[in-house]
Chains A and B, each alone.
Chain A
Amino acid sequence: MADGINTSPNYFNALTAGLWKENPTFRLLIGMCPPLAVTTAVKPALTMGLCVIFVLVCSNMVISLMRNLLKPHLRIIMFCLSIAAFVTVADLYLKAFAPDMSEILGAYVPLIIVNCIIIFRAEACASKSNVLVSILDGIGSGSGFTCALIILAGIRELLASGKFADIQVMPKGFVPWAAMQMPVGAFVTLGLLIGFAAIITAPKKD
C-alpha cells in the first residue's frame, strides 16, 4: 500500500465519519428515498436500516477486494451488480424470516440497489481503500443512515399515532396528527431536521 504510513488513524475516521460529519441523510443529502418512504413507523425503519448496513458492508468489502481489476467505464455497472446480489440475499432473508416486514417494505428493499449511499461509498471509499477501512466505513455510514431513519420515524410515529415502536407513549387525550402519516409529513419533517442539523453545525464553520 502506497499510503501505508497514514492508514492507522484512518480506521477510526472511517468508522466515525459517517455518523455525523458525513451523515448521508442530514449532511450529504444522498439516498433520500428510504428516509421519506419507510419512516411512518420505527420498526420498518429499523429493518430498512439493518438491511442497508448489511448490503453496504458486504458490497464495500467485495468492491474493495476487486478494486484493482475495475475498468473505469464499467465501474458503476460492476458496483450495481455486486450490490444487486447482496440485496437479493437481504430480500430473500426478509421474505423467509420476517414476512410481515417484507410486506410493509415492499419494493423499497430491492430499491436499495439504486440507493445513492451505497454507490457513493463504493465510489468514494471502497474503490480506493483496503478491505478493513471499507468495512468500517460501511458500518459507520450505515449506522449514520439508520440513526437518521430512526430519528425521523420516531418523530413521525410519535406525532401520527402517539406511539414509539408500537408502545403507547403519549397520554390518553393526545390527538394524532394525521398529516404526519402522509407524504407531506415526511417531506416537512425531514426538511426541518436538515435545517436543524445546519444550525448545529453552522458555528463550527466560522
Chain B
Amino acid sequence: MSNISVLIMAFLSVVIVNNFVFTKFLGTCPYLGCSGRIDTAFGMGLAVTFVTTLSGILTWLVDHYILVPNKLEITRYICYIIVIAGAVQLVEMYVKKFFPPLYKSFGIFLPLISTNCVILGICLFINIWGINNLPEVAVLSAGAGIGFTVAICIMAAIRETLKLADVPPALKDAPITLITAGLLTLGFMGFTGMIK
C-alpha cells in the first residue's frame, strides 16, 4: 500500500514542487517578518518543522479515530487549534528548558508559531487530499515543515545580501522582500511538472 517510492515522491512534491510558501502562500507572515537573519530563520524553520510533524500526525489521528467515527466533523477546526496550541506549548517548554539562548532569540515568535498558517494548512490539506495512511501523513507533514525551512532560509540568505544593495527608499524592507519572493516563486515554478 504505502511503498517507499510513493513516500519519496510525496516528500519531494511537498518540499519542492508544491512548496507551501511558494505555491500556496502559507506562512507568508514569518517568511517576510522573520527572515532578516539566517540563524534566526533556520531556528524558526526547525521549530515549525517539529510542530508541523507533531500536529500533522496528531490531528490526523484525532480526525480519524475520534471525530469521524463519532460524527463530530463540525468541531474539526476547533479540535485542530487545540492540538496545535498544545504542541506549540510543548515545544516552547522544551526549548526554554534546553536551549535558553535560542529561546531568547525567538522572543515573541515562538508562541506565535501556533498561529502560523503552514501548520493549520498542512492539517487541513491532509484532510482535503484524503490521505488515509499514517506513514504518508507523517512524510507530508514533515515535508511541509522542511519546505518552509528551505524557503525561509533562501529568503534570509538573499535578504542578508540585499541589505548592502541600493534600493529605492519607497521599496525598502517589505516591498523589495515581496518582489524578491515573487522572483523566487518564478524560479521554483521551474520544478512544476517534475512530479505527476
Contact = CB atoms under 8 A, between A and B. Distances in A.
Interface of A: 29-33, 36-37, 76-77, 80-81, 84-85, 87-88, 91-92, 106-107, 110-111, 113-114, 116, 119, 182-188, 190-192, 194-196, 198-199, 202
A116 B124 contact: no
27 contacts: A30-B29, A32-B28, A32-B29, A33-B28, A36-B25, A37-B25, A76-B85, A77-B114, A81-B82, A84-B77, A84-B80, A88-B74, A88-B76, A107-B124, A111-B26, A182-B186, A187-B179, A187-B181, A187-B182, A187-B185, A191-B177, A191-B178, A192-B179, A194-B175, A195-B171, A202-B169, A202-B170
A107 B128 contact: yes
Given A30-B29, A33-B26, A191-B174, 15 more contacts: A32-B25, A77-B82, A80-B85, A106-B128, A107-B128, A110-B124, A114-B115, A116-B115, A183-B25, A184-B186, A186-B182, A188-B183, A191-B177, A195-B170, A202-B169
Contacts of A191: 171, 174-179, 181-182
Given A80-B81, A191-B175, A116 B29 contact: yes
B74 A92 contact: yes
B170 A85 contact: no
